Amino acid sequence: MKIKYENVKLPECDCTNTPIQLTDETMNERLNKVLERMNCENFDSLIIYADLEHGNNFEYLTGFLPRFEEALLILNASGEHYMVLGNENLNKASKARIKATPIHCPYFSLPNQPMDVKKGIKDILSQCGFDKANKVGIVGWKNFTSNYEDNAQLFDVPYYVVDTIKELVGSNVFNATRLFIGEDGARCTNNVNEIVHYEFGAALASDCILKAMNHLDVGVSEMELGNILNAYGQKNSVVTIAASGPRFIKANIYPTTNTVKLKDPISLSIGYKGGFSSRAGYAVHDSNELDEAVQDYLDVLVKPYFSSVVVWLEKVHCGMLGGEVYDLIEETMPKTEYNWNLCPGHLTADEEWMSSNIYENSKELVQSGMLYQIDIIPSKSGYAGTSAESTVLLADENLRKQIAQEEPELWNRIQKRRNYIINELNISINEDILPMCSTVAYLRPFLLNKEKAMKL
């Protein structure tokens, strides 16, 4: 594979800047997907936990996060569902996207707020219809896959909640997060409404990255770049990164008044509901401005990395095994040489990393309707990193036809993005891969040079 660094036409910002809401039909479909999986595994009840950072399985069914409080959604096989909420979320039950009886639990509220409910946690949770259940599933946010633990007995939910549940129902309590994000989990594939809903965030992240890249120059501060990355008051799915030069000084992880200097390593990242974009490289115009020891940066790191992105886009398709995708990247850019150690691709949704079916020896299928981050992180000692992480959808012929019919404007954006990748970057992107943003595979390793990028 011959990788070039040449003049490349800039991709265009193409986010619609109009969030798309999920329909009632989609929310009902989501609930039914969960109930079907719950029934298949003979769970009488599912108890779904949420806080601001660990609430996406809860949000999947309710439509909201409990912000600074904790919350529970209880699904019962009887069809009677409950929502346990703190002081400042109790009023959200009537606005939720699921019909559930609200139960007030001030223990879920902020410290020192009124505790007017004169009941213990056990008494509160005993009202939620699961106290006589034979099998109860707890859904946190993490699907444990250890080979050394009983994954069904690992709970990423506050101890006082798990302890009370076990006190009420005994030992038949299991981690059931896999029903949401594990193999064939309810959240792993998306319908057309969900795809256009998530495309807004993926495209917004991409546009913000492109604007920040185009603004980046010597003397520009990290905070100035960070201000470009954060848009429209939308909730970030990751900590915004706008870093120039040495990172984590005094353990700080946020943009500062530090300014871009010639030869600085640069890292930019932004994520929203539906997608994440990142770029990494050097603040130089060309390799001659780098220290002599790293002037081979393109050959040593960037070209092998770009090759792996090309292989991902050209070879991955619906029906592959996750392990086959892993092997493709390992063959293209061996882990022992390039020091990547995470999954070379993972599912994304409301959270940046939901789960991944791409890992060594994975027998899980790459399925139509899955949203992926092409997330490959190589490193070489002494060199800055390189990154062009973006969001793509896997879609078979039926889903492609459905998108074209139901969301023609989205389909037109997708086709324009594919044409850019094919005609400008010379990548023969697989027909099953639909870019969710305009900067997929657009990599400028020397960030002061706005004209050149990697291509075939």
At 29, is the secondary structure helix, strand, or coil? helix
The domain containing residue 164 runs over which residues? Answer: 42-175
Query: Is 37 among the domain residues?
Result: no
Query: Is 181 among the domain residues?
Result: no
Say whether pLDDT at 54 is over 90: yes
What 8-state DSSP symbol labels residue 91?
G
Which residue in this structure is represented by tokens 């989205």? 410
Please check whether residues 291 and 420 belong to one and the same domain.
yes
Say whether pLDDT at 285 is over 90: yes
For 332-391, what is each residue's pLDDT tens digit? 999 999 999 999 999 999 999 999 999 999 999 999 999 999 999 999 999 999 999 999
Mean pLDDT within 401-424? 99
Contacts of 95 (CB under 8 A, 6+ apart): 63, 64
Please check whether residues 276 and 344 belong to one and the same domain.
yes
Please check whether residues 155 and 210 belong to one and the same domain.
no
Query: Is 29 among the domain residues?
Result: no
As a whole number of angstroms, the distance between CA 97 and CA 64 comes to: 8
For 93-126, what is each residue's pLDDT tens digit? 999 999 999 999 999 999 999 988 889 999 999 9
Residue-level pLDDT at 115 = 86
Please check whether residues 262 and 394 belong to one and the same domain.
yes
Number of domains in the chain: 2
Query: Residue 270 in contact with residue 201, Cβ under 8 Å?
Result: no
Residue-level pLDDT at 204 = 99
Sign of the dihedral defined by the CA atoms of residues 311, 314, 318, 320, in that order: negative
Query: Is 28 among the domain residues?
Result: no
Please check whether residues 202 and 343 belong to one and the same domain.
yes
Residue that is last in its domain, among 140, 175, 210: 175
Angle at 137 between CA 134 and CA 142, to 5 degrees: 165
Sign of the dihedral defined by the CA atoms of residues 363, 365, 370, 372, in that order: positive
What 8-state DSSP symbol labels residue 355?
B
As a whole number of angstroms, the distance between CA 211 and CA 2 comes to: 29
Please check whether residues 49 and 141 belong to one and the same domain.
yes
Query: Is 197 among the domain residues?
Result: yes
79: CATH: 3.40.350.10
As a whole number of angstroms, the distance between CA 136 and CA 47 comes to: 7
Say whether pLDDT at 172 is over 90: yes
Contacts of 228 (CB under 8 A, 6+ apart): 208, 211, 212, 215
Query: Is 351 among the domain residues?
Result: yes
Residue-level pLDDT at 118 = 85
Mean pLDDT within 132-145? 96
Q: Is 11 left (phi over 0), alpha (psi -120 to 50) or beta?
A: beta
395: CATH: 3.90.230.10
Residue that is last in its domain, among 175, 204, 231: 175
For the chain, give the mean pLDDT. Answer: 97
Amino acid present at 133: A
Query: Is 134 among the domain residues?
Result: yes
Burial class (CB in 10 A: 0-12, 13-18, 19+), 94: exposed
Residue that is last in its domain, among 175, 201, 236: 175
As a whole number of angstroms, the distance between CA 326 and CA 361 comes to: 8
DSSP-derived secondary structure for 51-85 = -SSS-HHHHHHHS---TTS-EEEEEETTS--EEEE
Query: Is 27 among the domain residues?
Result: no
Please check whether residues 162 and 260 belong to one and the same domain.
no
Please check whether residues 407 and 302 belong to one and the same domain.
yes
Mean pLDDT within 14-31? 98
Please check whether residues 242 and 161 belong to one and the same domain.
no
Contacts of 12 (CB under 8 A, 6+ apart): 438
Contacts of 374 (CB under 8 A, 6+ apart): 309, 312, 313, 344, 345, 389, 390, 391, 392, 440
Residue-level pLDDT at 440 = 99
Please check whether residues 159 and 278 belong to one and the same domain.
no
For 286-318, what is each residue's pLDDT tens digit? 999 999 999 999 999 999 999 999 999 999 999
As a whole number of angstroms, the distance between CA 393 and CA 305 comes to: 21
Please check whether residues 171 and 214 belong to one and the same domain.
no
Residue-level pLDDT at 116 = 80
Say whether pLDDT at 21 is over 90: yes
At 306, is the secondary structure helix, strand, or coil? helix
Please check whether residues 101 and 55 belong to one and the same domain.
yes
Residue-level pLDDT at 269 = 98
